[in-house]
A and B are shown apart, each in its own frame.
Chain A
Amino acid sequence: MNANELPSVAPAEPAPLEQRARALRDALVERGLIEAGEAEALAHSAVQELSPLNGARVVARAWVDPDFRQRLLANATAAAKELGIEGPEGRQMVAVENTPTTHNVIVCTQCSCTAWPLLGLPPDWYKAPPYRARVVREARALLAEMGLELPAATNIRVWDTSGETRYFVLPMRPEWTEHLTEEQLARLVTRDALIGVARIQNSGA
């Protein structure tokens, strides 16, 4: 039988993602464009260095040090650097401060831009369609669904990371934390609170 007479065959299933990623890495290593182990080392250091623990430190410092809080609100990039916190996606960071009347929440509707040095690489839900689609349209309902009920009178500001700026939320310090040290305060600040989808909760710190 002539090959031209064969019926067309549907395209094969894609190779598994793991094999696609390794194929690209191996091709780049073989061409001498990257070194063996370089990508793995970079991914490992990202997990260590880009962490919401950094954002938590910044918030705790702002809670105990009013001068630092002022500097943070004026220039969060420089204030974070005072604590040794900087890195990729951190060139222009802006703190948005919650008050008794205004709650802030951040999103990137078009991709998933995030202040990596302060929040770490963002979680899947932050990068998936439901959150990106809904928070700009119906923030109050979505936050309630996620466990953060806000009174109808509380103003909500949604910050869409559509340019160069990378935002994070400076939550309000709860009254019951008055006796806590800066280190204990930092332990209360979660990534969800830095995104603006959770309150500061008493986790027994």
Chain B
Amino acid sequence: MNGPHDLGGKTGFGEVSREANEPAFHYPWEGLAWALNMLAINKLRAYKPDTYRHAVERMKSSWYLKARYYERMLTGVTTLLVEKGTVSLEDLERRAGGRVPMSDPVAQLPVLQTEHSESPEARFLPGETVRVIAEATPGHTRCPAYVRGKKGVIRLVYPLAYYPELRAHSTIKRREHSYAVEFAAAQLWSGGDPAQTVFVELFESYLEAR
């Protein structure tokens, strides 16, 4: 989906502002949000990291863009645990003494290839030119918008890994290879720096042979 999270190449955000000697957590609740997400994934096994990422991606754009990182994280954890019925929204709001905002529901599921077959052989080899699929799939994807439809060159072949679309939206475990694909900045952006390239890790399903 084209969510607010997919920020690569977007303009109008202004300067990067850095804080000297920044702590990992600015407030105790930030550490709590981080720890609750880790516990929900690793201890409660309530959801996968991919499902969590999509829960954050489902925040309304206007909210996502102004929320800081740990607010987005807390929203993702809360949304998933309420959706799964682990906790109830009424209970949380009573305890919090006010409204507990959530991400929007899953809008549209991707069309999932449900076969379990996986090929141990990588389909592409280093040096090969590939093109990224042009269409954004609904639901969770790790294929950033700024490379869709663009040509790049396979540089590294990574081991088999769980396909994020399936892991976010189903219990199907299918792995495929991913690749570090190198794109010339001049191919991605008009006026792109001739001496800059961008390496994007892309799953095999996102790529077509050229």
Interface residues on B, range: 35 or more
Q: Is B210 an interface residue (CB 8 A)?
A: no
Q: Is B207 an interface residue (CB 8 A)?
A: no
- Could you give, for residues 106-141 of chain A, a 1 whenever the CB lies within 8 Å of some chain B CB and a 0 otherwise? 010111100000001101110111111110111110
Tell which of A20, A88, A131 has the most Cβ of chain B within 10 Å.
Answer: A20
B101 within 8 A of A: yes
Interface mask (A1-39 → B, CB under 8 Å = 1, otherwise 0): 000000000011111111111111111100101100011
Our pick among B39, B53, B92, B198 for the contact of A160 (Cβ within 8 Å) is B198
Interface pair B33/A129, CB less than 8 Å apart: no
Q: Is A159 an interface residue (CB 8 A)?
A: yes
Instruction: Report the interface size for chain A: residues with CB under 8 A from the other chain.
Output: 73
B99 close to A (CB within 8 Å): yes
Q: Is the interface of A mostly helix, strand, loop or mixed?
A: mixed
Stretch of A41-49, A78-86, A173-181 that contacts chain B = A41-49
| Known contacts A24-B78, A40-B35, A137 near B9 by CB under 8 Å | yes
Q: Count A/B pairs, Cβ under 8 Å.
A: 251
Query: What is the minimal beta-carbon distance from B150 to any residue of chain A, in angstroms?
Result: 12
Chain B positions within 8 Å of A14 at CB level: 98-101
Q: Which of B8, B44, B188 contacts A133 (CB 8 A)?
A: B8
Q: With contacts A23-B93, A44-B31, A163-B202 known, what are 11 further pairs, Cβ within 8 A?
A: A15-B100, A20-B92, A28-B81, A42-B39, A110-B53, A121-B34, A125-B19, A128-B16, A137-B9, A159-B198, A165-B178
Can you give 21 contacting A-B residue pairs, CB < 8 Å?
A22-B95, A23-B91, A28-B44, A28-B81, A31-B87, A34-B43, A40-B28, A42-B35, A42-B38, A109-B6, A110-B7, A132-B7, A136-B9, A137-B11, A137-B185, A146-B16, A146-B18, A155-B196, A158-B197, A162-B144, A163-B203
